[in-house]
Amino acid sequence: MILDTVASLGRLVLETVGRVGYAARIFFALLGASVGLIRRPRLITDQIHFIGNYSLVIISVSGLFVGFVLGWQGYYILNRYGSEQALGVMVALSLTRELGPVVTALLFAGRAGTSLTAEIGLMKAGEQLSAMEMMAINPLQRVVAPRFWAGVISMPVLAAIFSAVGVIGGYIIGVRLIGVDEGAFWSQMQAGVDLWEDIANGVIKSVVFGFAVTFIALFQGYEAQPTPEGVARATTRTVVISSLTVLWLDFLLTALMFS
């Protein structure tokens, strides 16, 4: 009984290490295949349009609602201590340091990540990737790498849009609806938000999330069993693994950046 448990635990560890090693191999192959894209930037811009542009609505709407909630909650908490003038800086710091990069990455995993996994998985199931290989075209270079870099580039831009729209949401609720002084709202924000400490660290976070989420989504699609069930499972795995990875990386980066 104990021996069986140890054996299955050992098997699990071996499988996990093997899978992580394989993923690392694909990641480096992907980086190697990306060199050729320098001569064909159009492949990346097309994907930025597809991945980034189509995520814009969900990111903007979510950012607005998160801003609304921050404005409301922030006002009631700060009001207890007579500091409602600091609402602007609170909303901006919450968004640029944490909520912007994290919520954008989670939404990106659900919107663009699943779509990437399903697209690559179905291409594999329909033998399109094999067909490309037989045409002497590396699918990692032609299909996977442009999507990867498009995801990495789109993520910080989307996070910035999320934060900007969120600040507007906080302004609408805090200033327009509740009546916090408009001058205090903006001036405290301007004084309290540091370009490097807050905004740059937020951008670094979203770039890291961009690497992680896009690679997970593409890897799951590339390694999916070429069946409807296999693609469905891969899509689910993308959301679960990406979400957990984003939260884990956020903890790690926050500890490194702000401790």
Residues near another protein (CB under 8 A) are 126-128, 130-131, 133-138, 142
3-state secondary structure of 152: helix
C-alpha distances (whole Å) from 157 to each of 50, 67, 117, 153, 254 are 14, 18, 21, 7, 20
In our burial notation (b when 16+ CB lie closer than 10 A, e otherwise), range 205-238 reads bbbbbbbbbbbbbbbbbbbbeeeeeebebbbebb
Enter the tokens of residue 150: 């498009």
The residues near 109 (Cβ < 8 Å, ≥ 6 apart) are 213, 216, 217, 238, 239, 242, 243, 246
Nearer to another protein, 3 or 136 (CB): 136
Residue for token digits 């500091």? 83
Minimum Å gap between C-beta 136 and another protein is 4
Nearer to another protein, 135 or 195 (CB): 135
Minimum Å gap between C-beta 86 and another protein is 50
Minimum Å gap between C-beta 146 and another protein is 13
Are 168 and 67 in contact by the 8 Å Cβ rule? The answer is: yes
Minimum Å gap between C-beta 128 and another protein is 5
Nearer to another protein, 42 or 176 (CB): 42
Are 172 and 75 in contact by the 8 Å Cβ rule? The answer is: no
Minimum Å gap between C-beta 87 and another protein is 47
Nearer to another protein, 32 or 183 (CB): 32
Minimum Å gap between C-beta 138 and another protein is 7
Enter the tokens of residue 224: 């999916």
The CA distance from 4 to 194, in Å, is 56
Nearer to another protein, 135 or 255 (CB): 135
Nearer to another protein, 54 or 76 (CB): 54
Minimum Å gap between C-beta 119 and another protein is 9
The CA distance from 88 to 80, in Å, is 16
The CA distance from 249 to 147, in Å, is 22
Nearer to another protein, 3 or 135 (CB): 135
